[in-house]
Copies of this chain bind each other. A is one copy, B any other.
Amino acid sequence: MTIEYATPHRARSFLPPDPTRPYFVEKGLGDRAHLFTDLVTVYCGGEQTENTFNFFTVEGPKGDLIPAHVHPETYEVFYVTDGAVRLFVEDLEGEQHEKLLTSGDFGFVPKNCAHAYRVERDHSRIVGVAAGPSGTYERFFENLGTPTEALGLPAEPYIPAPADFGRAQREFDVRFLPGFEWRTAD
């Protein structure tokens, strides 16, 4: 049952573009995108789950804090399987929290909570789920970033143009927070 599908997102994908078919995806062979220094791999999303949830991985090298942002309608899971990732979250009362997550650790970010993270070890991997009652937004990464057929991290960082951030914000459930300060951060 290693079937490849032509989908709205890829000429060849292991993700069937409807919610009726069981499927398997071997490690790393989901729908891949490069964004900044990271590789994002989508294993399921809105088409497969009637817009209920998605499932993806983010792999990256040790690097910088990503831009702070919120999701007005989306709950987000950070489950680290490899390496170490420092997660920063501001709660709805404005209190800021940070936690170093290593293999097997879990972080949960409710909708409307500002958050960011920093990969603290090379070869880190986060498993993510990001969904809410209004749907899923797993194609954000390849819209702000770029789809790729390659395996592995970007050879060079993929830096979106400034206008791409605005477009991504209009099309997906994300709002960037320029100038946001993490008072907990080093």
Q: How far is the CB of A21 from chain B (nearest CB, A)?
A: 6
User: Which of A5-13, A89-97, A139-147, A169-177 forms part of the interface with chain B?
Assistant: A89-97
Number of residues on chain A facing chain B (CB within 8 A): 50
Q: How far is the CB of A183 from chain B (nearest CB, A)?
A: 14
A48-107 residues with Cβ-Cβ distance < 8 A to B are 48-53, 55, 75, 77, 79, 81, 87, 89-92, 97, 99, 101-107
Contact B22 A106 (CB under 8 A): no
- A157 — which chain B residues lie within 8 A by C-beta? none
- A44 — which chain B residues lie within 8 A by C-beta? 75, 77, 106, 108
Contact B22 A91 (CB under 8 A): yes
Contact B91 A129 (CB under 8 A): no
Q: Beyond A89-B22, A99-B1, A103-B27, is A53–B129 a contact (Cβ under 8 Å)?
A: yes
The 8 closest A-B pairs by CB, nearest first: A27-B104, A53-B53, A22-B89, A24-B99, A25-B106, A1-B97, A43-B106, A49-B75
